[in-house]
Amino acid sequence: MTSKMRRVFLIIFAIFAIAAASYWFEIRLPMLEKARGPSETVQVSGESIRVIVADTPEERMKGLSGRKELPPDEGMLFIFESEQMPGFWMKDMLFPLDIIWISDDGRVAGVDSNVSTSTYPAVFYPPAPIRYVLEVNAGAAQALGIELGTHVDL
């Protein structure tokens, strides 16, 4: 290999290495850190639920799909920029959920309990405009006494 070819190869390799490092530190590492697990806690009925926050369109679209399970004291909190009527479905879900619809003031606007994976492609909507959605394992809402009007400390 000539010195000119070696120099071209090293430049191409350096560009590739810089691009790979940039991808890792700017995109992949933050995604992995967020994906590790719950980063926040909500309080409901005197109990703490550790939550994974989904506050971007991409995170809200993916939700809990593809996960094999959810520990009993964990959930996913979907945060929307303003009150709205978002639709939720069980696409690629591997376990049933309770979907807790929460208004802007932190009050439960409705609960869809024991939503089965077999309901896909049905879409579930809140009974009124909401700002937050809390997904927990099926049966958790009843076990925690979560019902219409329950306050959720976000």
User: Cα(105)–Cα(126) distance, rounded to whole angstroms?
Assistant: 15
Spatial contact of 128 and 109, defined as CB atoms under 8 Å apart: yes
Closest by CA to 52, choosing from 67, 40, 44, is: 40
Looking at domain 38-153, its CATH class is mainly beta
Residue 28 confidence (pLDDT): 52
For the chain, the domains span 1-36, 38-153
Residue 12 confidence (pLDDT): 78
pTM, two decimals, is 0.76
Q: Which residues, listed in sequence order, are joined to residue 131 by a DSSP beta bridge?
A: none
Alpha helices in the chain (DSSP H): 3-23, 29-35, 57-62, 140-143
- Percent of the chain topping pLDDT 90: 73
pLDDT truncated to tens, each residue of the chain (154 aa)?
A: 677 778 877 787 767 767 655 554 555 545 544 554 667 999 998 999 999 999 999 999 999 999 999 999 999 999 999 999 999 999 999 999 999 999 999 999 999 999 999 999 999 999 999 999 999 999 999 999 999 999 999 9
Residue 20 confidence (pLDDT): 59
User: Cα(17)–Cα(110) distance, rounded to whole angstroms?
Assistant: 51
